[in-house]
Chains A and B, each alone.
Chain A
Amino acid sequence: MYWLTSEQLELLIKKLGEEYKIFGPRHDRVSGEVIFDHLTDLSELDLQAAIPYNPPKFILFPHLEEILKYRYEPETKQARIEQLNLLEPKALIGLRSCDLTGLLCLDRFFLGQEFVDEFYLAHRKKLFIISNTCLRPFPQCFCVCTDSGPAAKEGFDLDLTLAGRGYLVEAGSKKGQALIDEFKLPEAGPEASVLKKKIIDDSVSSFDRWALENKAWISRATNRLTTGFIKPEVWEYIGNQCFECGACSFVCPTCSCFNIEEANQESGETNRLRTWDSCSFEGYTKMAGDNNPRKPVEDRRNKRFFCKLSYSQSKKYLRPGCVGCGRCARVCPGDIGLPNVVTYIRREITGEAGE
């Protein structure tokens, strides 16, 4: 472990900016909300800002992306397909451990299954990640229940922990170590690991009581979802609360369903677009000829929680699909974010009355 001052960090990020496009948390100029965004002005980066309202998945999996371009001329019967170059070096600064875990889930899903998603791979190839330990949880957080925080364990190039006036830095890759060496950062003796552990312990112990209470129930919910022993009434209740807006999927660091559409341009070219999609939408499973195997909303709704918590899905991510960022709970107009769903499942198991 090494020590890094704020001034050195600034220089280090500037240095990264020479090679990478820099992304990080900043305050939106109009709303004041914290967003994870491309930083055109590095002074806007705020590592102490609250958890951003959007996860960084859009950097690797844009909400709307042109994946192919072609021109087809019916008269001459000529088809010319052009593959696009999506490779662009990007540095993600100040990633919270939940979001980093989400990114690792996406890696395992897009790159580690039967097929490799070539478009995701192009975005992923040149990425530099600097994670940032959360000194205390934000009101929505429950990463301690999903084993994804408050500090990063893997997947980073550099990991920062604010300790007093400086940062404790750890390298997670050769790229990260090279940067530490280049800046000749001073080593932070054996007491540094003790200090870092204390900082993380303090953070864990300041989690809201409800988050700690849910801890055991995430695994029980996983068990119930996997074995299918949840009564249809529970899904009906949850389904009735769903507005089918898809917001939960869009703010989720691990939701990655997409749609593909052709967009014909006036120039005669056609763009093949990949856009975010959500399993809560009615058209999600609708086939040509209007045959739809999933009709009722609860039928679709339980699919999302199945995807987040069931064992079969966890095998794809090598962990639960939920990273405890709490964003779904924050945006859901129907109050059926994942923590609440876990609560409903708990009530069903224990037979306790609702509020």
Chain B
Amino acid sequence: MDKNLVPITSVPEVATIVDIRDEINEVKSFYFTFDRPEIEQAFKIRSGQFIMCTVFKEGEFAVSLPFSPENDPKHLSVRRVGKVTAGLHQLEPGDKIGVRGPFGNGFPFEEIKGKNIIYVAGGIGLIPLRSSIVHVLQHRQDFGRVILVYGAKSSKELMYKESVKEWQATENFETHFTIDRSEPGWSGEVGFVNQLTAKLDLPEEETVAFVCGPPVMFNAVIKELKLKGIKEQNIYSTLERHMKCGIGKCQHCAIGRTLVCVDGPVYTYKQIRTLGEQI
């Protein structure tokens, strides 16, 4: 583990929500800063890590981090799906949350310098990938071709519209968007992400892929990437599980012989295939 990243393990640090933005239906982004300046200064993450977020009086939940480790305001993008996230969605700017973390291994960054990168995301699967995308674009000269393939049910369900607009205007960043059914005014592709992936001309050699989305989409995309000649050990994804502690003790996130909170949440497809349990 990187010695500079000392996570907050037991007692949550209090943070203030400074801004809330609506993303898509039932998904909001919460921008936050730590109340203690020394924590605000010391808090460092790697792309792909997660935190345990306390919504006071409701509970704690594990959530991936969508911001880049460098020069990107700290925020969480959360879908209202259960009791605790519903509590979070009721909060307003100025309200407090608690934060433990960051936890988990994170996406590779230094190791993939010089390589081509393909991001494939479905729906809110773009949330954990955003951190890596922004980070890679901040160091664009260190990488080969960088490609994003992103799909959602409809244009309304596409996450991070502002970032996406920026990305589309970014030189040397190939972006491809698709929605499930055609809509008036939609100029992108129509169909599933895996179908779009199949159509693209992707580099085979020295290429890594980052895939995140619902399991059905995930499996279909993996199939296409393998057909394109991308090796299983070069396909990365991030898994989610019911988590209570974040530090490898409660065991709720065990998959086969690994614990998602300390051994993951980022795994290569080769690892996922041999975990000994369905994902």
Interface residues of A (CB under 8 A from B): 67-68, 70, 72, 74, 77-79, 81, 83, 109-110, 113-119, 228, 256-262, 264, 270, 277, 279, 284-289, 293-294, 299, 303, 307, 310, 312-313
Which of B58-66, B144-152, B154-162, B230-238 is the interface stretch? B58-66
**In-complex Cβ contact of A115 among B60, B61, B241, B248 (8 A):** B248
A114 touches B245 (CB 8 A): no
Q: What chain A residues lie within 8 Å of B257 (beta carbons)?
A: 310, 312-313
When distances are taken between beta carbons in the complex, the residues of chain A under 8 Å from B278 are 293
- Give the interface size bracket for B toward A: 35 or more
Give chain B residues whose Cβ lies under 8 Å from the Cβ of A286. 242
* Secondary structure dominating the interface of B: loop
A289 near B82 with CB under 8 A, answer yes
**Which chain B residue has the least Cβ–Cβ distance from A228?**
B276
Q: Which of B69-95 contact A (CB under 8 A)?
A: 81-85, 94-95
Q: Find out whether the CB atom of B12 lies under 8 angstroms from the CB atom of A77.
A: no
Contact of B98 among A79, A261, A294, A303 (CB under 8 A): A79
With both beta carbons as reference points, the residue of chain B lying nearest to A257 in the complex is identified as: B251
Contact across chains for B248 and A81 when beta carbons are under 8 A apart: no
Residues of A within 8 A of B250 (CB): 257-260, 277
Bound CA–CA A258/B250 (angstroms): 5
- 18 A–B contacts from the bound complex (CB under 8 Å): A72-B57, A78-B96, A81-B98, A113-B249, A114-B248, A115-B9, A118-B10, A257-B250, A257-B251, A260-B245, A262-B59, A270-B56, A288-B81, A288-B83, A288-B85, A293-B241, A293-B278, A310-B257
Closest 7 CB pairs of A and B: A288-B82, A72-B56, A312-B257, A115-B247, A289-B81, A79-B96, A257-B251
Q: Chain B CB within 10 Å — which of A74, A228, A286 has the most?
A: A74
Question: Which residues on A sit within 8 Å (CB–CB) of B220?
Answer: none
Q: Which of A77, A116, A257, A310 contacts B94 (CB 8 A)?
A: A77
> Does B14 make an interface contact (CB < 8 A)?
yes
Closest to B258 in A: A312
Q: Which residues of A contact B254 (CB under 8 A)?
A: 279, 303, 307
Interface: B18 (CB within 8 A): no
Does B244 sit within 8 A of A, measured CB to CB? yes
Given contacts A79-B98, A312-B257, contact A262 B251 (CB under 8 A): no
Q: Are the C-beta atoms of B248 and A72 separated by less than 8 Å?
A: no
Pick from A262, A307, A310, A312: contact of B58, CB below 8 A: A262
A257 to B253: give the CA distance in the assembly, Å: 11
CB distance from B235 to the nearest CB of A (A): 20
Chain B residues 208 to 247 lying within 8 A of chain A, measured CB to CB, are 240-242, 244-245, 247
B39 at the interface (CB under 8 A from A): no
A284 adjacent to B242 (CB under 8 Å): yes
Residues of B within 8 A of A261 (CB): 59
A117 contacts B249, CB within 8 Å? yes
Chain A contacts for B59, CB-based, 8 A: 260-262
Quick one: given A115-B249, A310-B257, are A68 and B82 in contact (CB under 8 Å)?
no
CA–CA, A117 and B250, complex, Å: 10
Inter-chain contacts of A307 with B (CB < 8 A): 251, 254
Question: B85 contacts which chain A residues (CB < 8 A)?
Answer: 288
Judge whether B140 is part of the interface by a CB distance below 8 angstroms: no
A351 to B254, CA, bound (A): 32
Smallest beta-carbon distance B123→chain A, Å: 13
Give, as a whole number of angstroms, the nearest-CB distance from B62 to chain A: 9
With most chain B CB atoms within 10 A of its CB, the pick from A109, A256, A257 is: A257
**What's the least CB distance linking B214 to chain A, in Å?**
9
Residue of A79, A83, A118, A299 contacting most chain B CB atoms (<10 Å): A79
CB of B200 within 8 Å of the partner chain: no
Q: State the CA gap A72–B96 with chains docked (Å).
A: 9
